[in-house]
Structure 1
Amino acid sequence: MTDIPMGETAGAVTEARSASRLLFIDNIRWSMIILVLSMHASDTYSPFGYWYYVDRQQTGLGTALFFGVYQSFLQAFFMAALFFIAGYFSAAAYDRKGFSRFLRDRFVRLGLPTLLYMLVIGPLTEYFLSRTWGSGFFGHQWLLHLKDGEWLSETGPMWFCAALLVFAIIYGLIRLTGWKESRIEPAGDRRDGAAVAIFIAIMAASTFLVRVGMSEGASVLNVHPGDFPQYILMFAAGALGYRGHWITELPERFCIQWASLALTLAIPLFAALILFGGGLQGERAQYAGGFNPVSAGKCLWEALVCVGMGLLMLAVYRRHFDRQGPVARWLSDNAFGVYLIHPPILIGSAILLHAVALNAIAKALLLTAVAAVGSFAASAFVLRKSPLRAIV
């Protein structure tokens, strides 16, 4: 994946690989997809998060704390990393294709899979597996789904592609005016360090301000608006970094130093949030937003983890994982197919595992493994051998 982190056709991926050989980016992508599976497996059994199907049991403080830390940590960085990569290669794609072809390509690669999920995969999953879609005949419920406009809010995990399509349209319109990113060379000096600190502060402040005015239940494209500042800023940073080749040329030492600083600061801040934010007493309202120090601290913590983990992954994957054998290549080729098809497979696997006598953490790990095997197999042996292979 060296153009858009999700929604590439197999041919486009091959073409991009041969052009730039950024195999560590492909490896980041499939790694993040597996983390998506683990997040949804955690949603199934933990007391936190939202998912189509949950199988929650009474959990103790230790289990709840584990899930709270793990899910919060993932949420803080894994999708933002993909938005950064998307922004970076959007600039390259626009340069090659121009406005019309760039947008047409994005509609095919992002819009069509999203519509497939909203109109087919999602409804089938909700009706037959999670049973959250009414009790009438499927065809009747499906027509009601279309008539009342509910399908427009049913992006499921494809919210990422829907949001990325919107970002791509806006980016294309900006480029159409004649604007072009300046070449910002990474030097890895104090000025770059100050820019990282300012970027973290802007991300934290903008996220906090949006969450002040938005209720916990608000949703746009199946995402809370309070998450969008992070995604928008990471996409924009990726686009601005393209001409300076940040992904390949940002000094490794700089990445490690600033990642270490950001993540080190995040640890005591997170501990303080747990101790003094009400989490140990089961009070979670202040974490969700509002004008309070707990929400402000959480927004700062998320920004530190987002930027810190982004820099750390860049350094580690670029140094140690810039190659692919047959297995990694296969995982990369099927990553988007897994992202598209994993909800029904994960939910079906969770239903089959319902009677397994394990604690919630062990069941989440088992479900992640089972769903990963099933989803990659479904992508490789079903989706990519069907007419849908053109969009997965």
Structure 2
Amino acid sequence: MGAVKREVYIDYLRLLLIGLVVMQHLSVTYSGIGSWYYVEKAALGPVQQTVFLFFNSFNQSYFMGLLFFIAGCFVPGAYDRKGFWRFTADRFLRLGVPALFYMLLVQPLNLYILRTAGVWQQADFFAWYARYVSSFAFLGGSGPLWFAVALLIFSLFYALFRLLEGEANGSRPLCPLTTRYCIGLILLIAIVAFAIRLVQPIGTSILNMQFCFFSEYVFLFAAGIAASRNQWLAELRYEYGLKWLKAVLFLGIPCWIAVVIGGGVLRMQSIDVITGGWQWQAACYALLESFFGVGMSIGLLALFKEKCNRQSRFWQTLADNSFAVYVFHAPIIITLTLLLRDLQFWPLLKFALLSVLALPLCFALAHFVLRRLPLLKRIL
């Protein structure tokens, strides 16, 4: 099996995606489209509503799925080097410990900040925390670290599969990445997502896991494993990725507009027509999400491989701090948005302003403070 070589463009792409995660949560704060700790209630006109809806839904369609794909690319090589026991222990250390840290310390910090600001009504915080821990309610308090929990579970399933499979996988012939395979993957993700949303529509969760999106996460994680086995990233051509990006821009986005406007989604009372159920809008939306997810993943990987594959001390420093930003951005942006909640701006302008302020602040705190603390340095 050919292990994926760690190249700088992958770190830079992951940096972009985590930056988008921060912006996504700020967007939810000011649009109310999605779920987040703190949401400012504001009336949105048609233009702002459309922009927020597109930004949130377009990002959601690919950025977490691409993170799972990237993670999947490195799982086979890590297992090959470490074997079952070292691999599983490493996954618990790298993913389980940060997730548990978030559940037990960062999640309560988020709620304490909201309590101090009068947003969360809780008379006795310490009594609440005792119940939160003793009742195991903390298992649903993973916040953005649901990603680490899900990735840990996916990795453990892979490790068990490899343990049972033995060494048989090493002799398999390479399978090239083809457009037919990509189209089949798009259809598979869409069909399974549509089926899941019949019982778990968009907006629902179990223990902070939004299973409505897990079709893409599972299949793209598996595609990352296949990419490692078949050396897809090494063979990925810039021209091929550019074709997928153009398809998303010139075919996918007009289709999104047609579904949203033609399907009546812009009337917020009708947004449930795309979240799940036996509606044509829900089926088309699931297909569009899948198309965006696969197309943007291929396109961005090829684009960054071609254009962003040169070492830069500045960008590498940011990339090195990206996981710390992912873990700690919630209390940072919650505090920042609460401090500026009395600022009277249009929600879209406020979102843009907070993005400009929050991203540098998150990375600065991660680099100069958080990753220099002895305890955090070990898990970040």
TM-score of the pair, normalised by structure 1: 0.90
Q: Which amino acid aligns with 2:28?
A: D
- Give the aligned partner of residue 228 of structure 1: 214
Is 2:202–2:210's contact at 8 Å kept on the other side of the alignment? yes
Q: Distance in 1 between matches of 2:232 and 2:224?
A: 8
Once the two structures are TM-superposed, the CA of residue 223 in structure 1 deviates from its matched residue by 2.7
Is structure 2 residue 308 aligned with structure 1 residue 318?
A: no
**Hey, what does 2:59 align to over in structure 1?**
74
Alignment RMSD: 1.8
Between the aligned partners of 1:293 and 1:20, the Cα distance in structure 2 is 42
Q: CA deviation at 1:347?
A: 0.6
Note the residue ranges of structure 2 that are not aligned, 5 or more in a row: none
Counterparts of 2:345 and 2:173 in 1: how far apart (Å)?
Answer: 54
The whole-number CA distance in structure 2 between the counterparts of 1:302 and 1:207 is: 9
What letter matches 2:174 in structure 1? I
Name the CA distance, whole Å, in 2 between partners of 1:272 and 1:163.
33
Structure 1 gap segments, 5+ residues each? 4-18
The Cα shift of 1:217 comes to 5.0
Aligned to 1:180: 169
Task: Report deviation, 1:262.
Answer: 4.5
- Structure 1 residues 221 and 87: CA distance shift in structure 2, 3 A: farther
Hey, what does 2:88 align to over in structure 1? 103
Whether contact under 8 Å (2:22, 2:359) holds in the other structure is yes
Give the Cα separation in 2 of the matches to 1:308 and 1:289: 22
Residues 1:352 and 2:342 are matched in the alignment: no
Task: Say which is worse superposed, 349-358 or 233-242, in terms of deviation.
Answer: 349-358
**Preserved contact between residue 30 and residue 41 of structure 2 (Cα < 8 Å):** yes
**2: CA distance between counterparts of 1:330 and 1:291?**
47
- Using the size of structure 2 for normalisation, the TM-score is 0.93
Could you list the per-position Cα deviations for residues 137-181 of structure 1 after superposition, in whole angstroms to 9, with x for gaps in the alignment?
332111011123221111100010010000001000000012537
The match for 1:284 is 271
Task: Confirm whether residue 327 of structure 1 aligns to residue 311 of structure 2.
Answer: no
1:349-368 Cα distance to aligned partner (Å, 9 max, x none): 00111122321111111112
Alignment map for 1:191-340 (pairs within 5 Å): 192-282=178-268, 283-340=270-327
Identity %: 37
Residues 224-248 of structure 1, C-alpha deviations (whole Å, 9 max, x = no match): 2121010000000000110222122
Q: CA separation of 1:112/1:85 partners in 2, compared to 1, >3 Å: closer, same or farther?
A: same
User: Cα distance, 1:272 vs. partner?
Assistant: 1.8
SS for the counterpart of 2:70 is helix
- SS of match in other structure, 1:356: coil
- Indicate the SS of the match to 1:48: coil
8 Å CA contact 2:32–2:39 kept in 1: the answer is: no
Task: Mark the CA change 1:183 to 1:355 in structure 2 (over 3 Å): closer, same or farther.
Answer: farther
Name the CA distance, whole Å, in 2 between partners of 1:56 and 1:134. Answer: 17
Show CA shifts across 1:281-337 (max 9, x none). Answer: 221111110112110000000011111111110111001100231210110110000
Q: Give 2:169's aligned amino acid.
A: K
Preserved CA contact (<8 Å) 1:159 1:222: yes
SS of residue in 1 equivalent to 2:74 = helix
Is 1:270–1:301's contact at 8 Å kept on the other side of the alignment?
yes
CA contact (8 A) 1:258 1:308 kept: yes
Partner of 1:115: 100
